[in-house]
Amino acid sequence: MTEWFHETLYPSVRQSLRIDRIIHQSKTEFQDVLIFENEFLGRVLVLDDVVQTTEADEFYYHEMLSHVPIVGHGAVRSVLIVGGGDGGMLEEVLKHPVDKVVLVDIDGEVVDICRQHLPSVCGNAFSDPRSELVIGDGKEFVASTELRFDLIIVDSTDPIGPGEALFRRPFYQACHDILNVGGVIATQNGVPFFQAEEVTQTHRHLRSIFTHSGFFASPVPMYVGGHMAFGWASDHTNLSGIDEATIRSRLQSRSLETRYYNSGVHVASFALPTCVQDLLA
Ligand code: SAM
């Protein structure tokens, strides 16, 4: 009999993916983990019944949440990734001339499972000498670390379960306090069509803490509902005010191989649909 995975993120709308083969299924201290194969999508990572990433579409999300802030900043050398246990974000960040990337994920088992079963998503990122893996709560890490960063990427689960604290003001304030001058934070904020509150809540906090803040947007095919919103904020870098010629010239000096991201997409992602602008008003 054909088996289907039903995502239960929203109460009245569901997406279903055919399970062609279960690769891994377990319960960690923090979440239920499922990896299965789907004929079209390849391997699919699910945490607590919510799709996190698939082999087929991971590049949309990972490229946009890494390259937009890195190229927009222009001189990123040190990066903190909060969450991101599948390693896809780490792999994209390491394409840049960075000195150090610290990845803090609360769930070491998710990291091990993804390294074993999703090598096409993380590549060799975890064994790159510039990477440092910390297993711990991102909220506690940012509140206590002595390290300072040019960029913080919040590649978290949705604000349910362990990811909830990563959408609250104390977390954003602590991130602010560990950024270098010119430093930027970039966050995943869900799909505004279904998850408007992820945008409004983060917007309220970032705006009250940082001098500059805003959102950029991109489709991520398996996050149904249209555009996904990404938050950004900084005291000294206005990410939304950089023209395409500048982005293009910054890209010319690095040999960045991408499948979704380019200079045109970079600039266009800051043009927000009216219904998203209304959420920020
Ligand atoms: N792209 C994904 C999405 O938006 O659906 C996120 C992918 S990544 C797998 C999310 C990671 O966040 C998971 O590995 C989870 O363990 C981690 N995470 C959740 N809460 C966390 C916390 N408080 N501190 C650090 N990592 C956390």
Eight-state DSSP code of residue 162: G
Q: Is the CB of 135 under 6 A from ligand 1?
A: no
> In CATH, what number does 58-279 get?
3.40.50.150
Give me the residue spans of the domains in the chain: 3-54, 58-279
Confirm whether 32 is a catalytic residue: no
> In CATH, what number does 3-54 get?
2.30.140.10
DSSP H helices, the chain, are 58-73, 88-93, 108-117, 119-122, 138-144, 169-177, 196-209, 244-252, 263-268, 274-280
Q: How far apart are the first and last CA of the chain?
A: 50
Name which of 149, 42, 51 is nearest 93 in CA terms: 149
Q: Is the CB of 188 under 6 A from ligand 1?
A: yes
pTM over 0.95: yes
> Residue 45 and residue 59: Cα distance in Å, rounded?
14
Tokens of 268: 């266009």
For each of the chain's 281 residues, which pLDDT tens digit applies? Answer: 899 999 989 999 999 999 999 999 999 999 999 999 999 999 999 999 999 999 999 999 999 999 999 999 999 999 999 999 999 999 999 999 999 999 999 999 999 999 999 999 999 999 999 999 999 999 999 999 999 999 999 999 989 888 999 999 999 999 999 999 999 999 999 999 999 999 999 999 999 999 999 999 999 999 999 999 999 999 999 999 999 999 999 999 888 999 999 999 999 999 999 999 999 99
- Out of 155, 158, 177, 243, pick the active-site residue: 155
Measured from the CA of 111, which atom of ligand 1 is nearest? 14
Eight-state DSSP code of residue 124: T
106 Cα–ligand 1 center, Å: 8
Q: Is the CB of 189 under 6 A from ligand 1?
A: no
Dmax (CA) of the chain: 58
